[in-house]
Amino acid sequence: MQSKSPDAAFSMEDFAKALEQHDYQFQKGQVVTGKAYSYESGGALVDIGGKSPAFLPVEEASVSQVNDVSAILPLQEEREFLIIRDQNEDGQVTISLRQLEYRKIWERLAEMQDSSQSLQVRVTGMNKGGVTIDVLGLRGFIPRSHLVERENLEALKGQTLTATFLDLDRDRNKIVLSNRLAARAQNFSQLEAGQLIEGKVTSLKPFGAFVEFDGTTGLLHINQISQKFIASLPTLLEVGQPIKAMIVDLEEGRGRISLSTKVLENYPGEVLESLATVMDEAESRHDRARKNLLGS
């Protein structure tokens, strides 16, 4: 029978000592639970159940910039942390609240996008292309074309807007939202066929005029302007002109709102002859027009 060599016995003992000196249960990318028990220069020491306390740097305390860890993490408050750096020679790991919070925010945003939810965001700045926003602590952007208020962007700074998703890309750290689409969706639920609206003409096309009202846009098709043929739309309407019209159709799935002024006419061609009169009397004519449209 052969006995174990001294070298083999030594190597097994050496391996055992190595296991005692290193806590292999803690690895980079792991989520752990712990409590801060001491504030140090530049961060906090946190007990996560290891042989050595973990270190939370102040810059890893929150997705928002903070200078004082105690404002984010009270002593003895149990929290989850993400290990972002493996053990050093003293067995200490570096942990983060910021990166764990960052991960959870992106997961939350992805869930909201999948379920077509809107969210509240705060405008933090502006440039010629749109406004920068705070999205649950992350930086996002709303293009000017997707703002309800597009003229005075400076006035939006500090305001809270409702927005919905246009582009969400975690790999590129890109969050692009639309205030305009969110307002349209919100307004859509409050609209109904037969409703009289008041807005302004925002553009003229060969097929009709787009009318903006209450943060959304409807189409006044050229065939819905008058019961008589219209040869030239620009001779009747112009961009920026106030106008009253009745909603005659809603297609929520396509976000389409169809408007009509011809339903307000007392006789065919009245809009062409006296648009001002039709507009002035729109409210008094509305009830009759609504009954004709809905049959009640």
The CATH classification of domain 191-294, taken from the options 3.30.70.1520, 3.50.30.30, 2.60.15.10, 2.40.50.140: 2.40.50.140
C-alpha to C-alpha distance for 69 and 75, rounded to whole angstroms: 10
Same topology, domains 116-184 and 191-294? Answer is: yes
> What are the two backbone dihedrals, phi and then psi, of residue 113, each rounded to the nearest 5 degrees?
-65, -45
- Given CATH 3.30.450, say whether it is the number of domain 36-115: no
Residue whose C-alpha is closest to residue 75's, from 33, 44, 30: 44
pLDDT in 10s for each residue of the chain, 296 residues: 444 444 445 566 665 555 455 555 788 999 999 999 999 989 999 999 988 899 999 999 998 888 899 989 999 999 999 999 998 888 899 999 999 999 999 999 999 999 889 999 999 999 989 999 999 999 999 999 999 888 889 999 999 999 999 999 999 999 999 998 888 777 777 888 999 999 999 999 999 999 998 778 899 999 999 999 998 899 999 999 999 999 999 886 677 899 999 999 999 999 999 999 999 999 999 999 999 888 86
pLDDT at 248: 93
C-alpha to C-alpha distance for 168 and 175, rounded to whole angstroms: 5
C-alpha to C-alpha distance for 102 and 162, rounded to whole angstroms: 21
Q: Is residue 202 a contact partner of residue 211, using CB atoms and an 8 Å limit? A: yes
What is the CATH T-level fold of the domain 116-184, as seen in this structure? OB fold (Dihydrolipoamide Acetyltransferase, E2P) (2.40.50)
| N- to C-terminal Cα separation, the chain | 106
Residue whose C-alpha is closest to residue 219's, from 251, 267, 189, 187: 251
Label each residue of 19-69 as H, E or C. HHHCCCCCCCCCEEEEEEEEEECCEEEEECCCCCCEEEEHHHCCCCCCCCH
Q: DSSP secondary-structure letter at 145?
A: G
Q: What are the boundaries of each domain within the chain? A: 36-115, 116-184, 191-294
Q: DSSP secondary-structure letter at 144?
A: G
Which amino acid, 192?
Answer: E
